[in-house]
Amino acid sequence: KMRVGILSAGGDCPGINAAIRGVGKTAIVEYGMDVVGIINGFSGLVEKQTISLSESQLSGILTLGGTILGTSRLKPFKVNEGEDPTVIPSLIKKHYEELKLEALVCIGGNGTQKTADLLAQEGLNIIGVPKTIDNDIWGTDLTFGFDTAVHIATEAIDRLHTTANSHKRVMVIEVMGHHAGWIALYSGIAGGGDVILLPEIPYDMELVAKCLLERSHKKKPYSIVVVGEGIYKEGKKKSAGAYMAKQIKRTTGLETRETILGYIQRGGSPTATDRILATRFGTYAAQMVHNREFGKMVALKNGLVTSVPLSEVGGKTRLIEPDNKLIAKGRSMGVCFGDCTK
């Protein structure tokens, strides 16, 4: 019987359990494999902490947020100065062999896919499955977790509209996304943001202020400013949202409040879209194990599930291109991206 290991690593997101279920059930039911769950990401391989996953243990987890396997941010190939960089990878290799794994499915974001590639180079049979709310993994058009995060952020923006209107305030909302502005762009457009600031587009504070003052002069009672957490790079002490709210108060004199949405965006049950994408990715990964297609990451390309070599993915981030159609549409509807006068 073929034995396949599954782990989830890096920051969690809604849909991981749906993916674990997709891999596990397909591996057990379709291919008669044994499935081993690795606890807490790569730490579980270092500490040899595993559970055997049966079909019944994989039932009822489709709708659950988080990950039943736990996760950690451990980067096995990243060591502190003076430490031997081969110790942890060789421990992982040793335990992979002792556990008699013939394949390892690594569900994770950019960091995880990089580690997955390095482990593949060490000779392990690796398959990557992309997941993150940030939607910033190179090689795939979409990641699960993103749709749920956009829904949560959009609902938050909807709620800010009513209180902003009552008090005639500028409301700044900071959303996640690391160095990518996908959540900010999508929730900003869906929630009718007036100013949307993305890490990919350098903004001009004067233009942001001008846009907000023009709205106020036109007797628009309030404004919504959606900010990607990665726009503020001058130092990490203050959040981008808090920083932006302060700048707006200073430059416009308008009454301004900030909301930092935070981890709410990563918690809870995945949307239907994310459940479906995670299930498609998971079942495809199990098929890849069966076909012994290793050293690759599952990916969505033009609506179809396929795979890309891990060596092409490792460490690269998929940012928003300046010619993104949604940016153009937003501009024509009067959204200020901080770099034009519209």
Interface with ligand F6P, residue 134, by CB under 6 A: yes
Positions of E strands within 26-147? 34-38, 50-53, 103-108, 126-130
**Binding to ligand F6P by residue 4, rule CB under 6 A?**
no
Catalytic residue among 12, 117, 134, 136: 134
Question: Which residue among 115, 132, 135, 307 contacts ligand F6P (CB under 6 A)?
Answer: 132
Binding residues among 207-236 for ligand F6P as defined by CB under 6 A? 229
Is 318 a binder of ligand F6P (CB under 6 A)? no
- What is the CA 147 to chain-centroid distance, rounded? 10
Annotated binding residues, written as ranges, equal: 11, 73-74, 109-112, 132-134, 169, 176-178, 229, 257, 263-266
Closest to 119 measured CA to CA, from 84, 81, 80, 75: 75
User: Which residue ranges make up the annotated binding site for substrate?
Assistant: 132-134, 169, 176-178, 229, 257, 263-266
CB 314 to ligand F6P: min, Å: 16
**CA pair distance 114, 103, nearest whole angstrom:** 17
| Site track 39-78 with ligand F6P (rule: CB under 6 A), x = hit | ----------------------------------x-----
The distance in angstroms from the start CA to the end CA of the chain is 63
The answer to whether residues 172 and 256 touch, using CB atoms and an 8 Å cutoff, is yes
- Which of 117/229 has CB closer to ligand F6P? 229
CA distances from 264 to 52, 84, 102, 179, 261 (A): 31, 38, 37, 19, 6
Q: Supply the angle between the helices 272-290 and 16-25 in degrees, to the nearest 10.
A: 40
Do 281 and 274 meet the contact criterion of CB atoms below 8 Å apart?
Answer: no
Which lies closer to ligand F6P via its Cβ, residue 73 or residue 100?
Answer: 73
- Tokens 């009672």 found at: 221
Active site residue 147: no
Q: Could you say which of 266, 275, 280, 296 contacts ligand F6P (CB under 6 A)? A: 266
Q: How far is the CB of 316 from ligand F6P (least distance, A)?
A: 15
Q: Does 116 bind ligand F6P (CB under 6 A)?
A: no
Contact by Cβ (8 Å): 50, 99: yes
Give the CA radius of gyration of the chain: 22
11-40 footprint of ligand F6P as x/- string (CB under 6 A): x-----------------------------
Would you count residue 176 as binding ligand F6P (CB under 6 A)? yes
Shortest reach from residue 136's CB to ligand F6P, in Å? 8
State whether residue 128 is helix, strand or coil.
strand
- Token couple for 221: 């009672």
**Could you tell me the smallest distance in angstroms from the CB atom of residue 66 to ligand F6P?**
12
Nearest approach, Cβ of residue 182 and ligand F6P (Å): 10
Cα separation, 104 vs 5, in Å, equals: 5
Residue sitting closest to ligand F6P (CB): 176
Tell whether residue 109 is a contact of ligand F6P (CB under 6 A): yes
Cβ-based nearer residue to ligand F6P, 177 or 191: 177
H helices within the chain, ranges in order?
Answer: 16-25, 42-46, 87-98, 110-121, 146-167, 182-190, 205-217, 240-252, 272-290, 310-313, 325-332
**Which residues form the catalytic set?**
134
Binding site for ligand F6P (CB under 6 A): 11, 73, 109, 132-134, 176-178, 229, 266
